[in-house]
Chain A
């Protein structure tokens, strides 16, 4: 990083600035709108939304049944549908089956629930190998799924978005949805991780 106080913009920075200024001059975009869009995904729309959904599914069987029957309607009731989550499907990890979500063609991801995807989700390494050798991908995350558990990979090739409901950790009986949400990691909702055990988080 340049911390000399001089303005030394890279080529891409110069091009993007010029493009934004041109689009604003022609009246196609408002720079304040760009600020608002960025702010939405940096501050409001992220994996805590999905964690809330998973925790409620664990805590409330009626809600889980609603998610199974019509996840989009259930999520709309929480204000968690919308852009890049217009049609959402939940898939549940069990001892018998482990679900993993990928988009081999681009970077489709359930934005209202998880925010914008991390770099690894968009990477060639993940997109190429998740569909062919998912256990080796899980190993990259330090995750091992028993051979007795089937692996089910969902390639998001249309405008359907997938949310994985991880297995509820043992030792959480009687926990509230708020407490349970602290156990739900982003990766556990993609299938590249498990929910945290109670001893892995500091109880509030």
Chain B
């Protein structure tokens, strides 16, 4: 999705402003939205890629005028409706009207430290050899999927070099749509500033993205 979330290279957002002594959260509702999002993900009814996809599908004007946790709230709400965990009617009334959908796990407070310490590893055993090796020149695909992708617009159809090889990882473009993990080899790909931004780019700049194998072609 060529959404408003894909911000690399956009202009005119003004200076980056750092807040002095910034708190972790700025309001109680932000705390709740954060905790609810993590707690709902622990049910395994949704996954992290679905979460990103749900936030990215917010229409651009709304996305750009929302705060970070407003975007999280909108994304969480969308996923809860999509998965049928709650209905529109329940959301508007705030009361359960239908039986709960069975979920794999309900996170309890005493499980929080170990859940955070373990995390959720995206790496999977490799079943095929890697197509590329460190130093290989590659071309990123020119693709504009309607669905979720982690290949940013600014890094499409660009010539880069494989810098690192990271094993095979869950493929977000599939996982975000509930179409399975479909793991692929993952690489760090390095580009020059000039390749990304043209001859006026900072000559000392190089940028990298982390790219799944199907984002890349040999050159």
**B106 part of interface (Cβ distance < 8 Å):** yes
Of B115, B201, B209, most A-chain CB atoms within 10 Å: B209
5 more A-B residue pairs beyond the given contacts A37-B34, A154-B207, A155-B152, with a C-beta to C-beta distance below 8 A:
A16-B73, A128-B7, A128-B8, A132-B8, A151-B202
Of all chain A residues, the one with the shortest Cβ separation from B39 is: A29
**A179 part of interface (Cβ distance < 8 Å):** no
Contact yes or no, B204 A131, CB < 8 A: no
Contact yes or no, A30 B120, CB < 8 A: no
Q: How far is the CB of B75 from chain A (nearest CB, A)?
A: 10
- 17 A-B pairs within 8 Å (CB atoms) are namely A19-B73, A19-B77, A23-B40, A42-B31, A87-B166, A104-B152, A106-B52, A106-B56, A112-B116, A120-B16, A120-B19, A125-B13, A127-B7, A128-B10, A134-B205, A154-B208, A187-B18
A interface: dominant SS: mixed
User: Using a Cβ–Cβ cut-off of 8 Å, how many residues does chain A contribute to the interface with B?
Assistant: 81
Q: How far is the CB of B119 from chain A (nearest CB, A)?
A: 4
User: Using a Cβ–Cβ cut-off of 8 Å, how many residues does chain B contribute to the interface with A?
Assistant: 92
Q: How far is the CB of A128 from chain B (nearest CB, A)?
A: 4
**A150 part of interface (Cβ distance < 8 Å):** yes
Contact of A86 among B36, B115, B122, B151 (CB under 8 A): B122
Report A62-86 residues with CB < 8 Å from chain B CB.
Answer: 79, 81-86
Chain A residues whose CB sits within 8 angstroms of the CB of B31 once the complex forms: 34, 38, 42
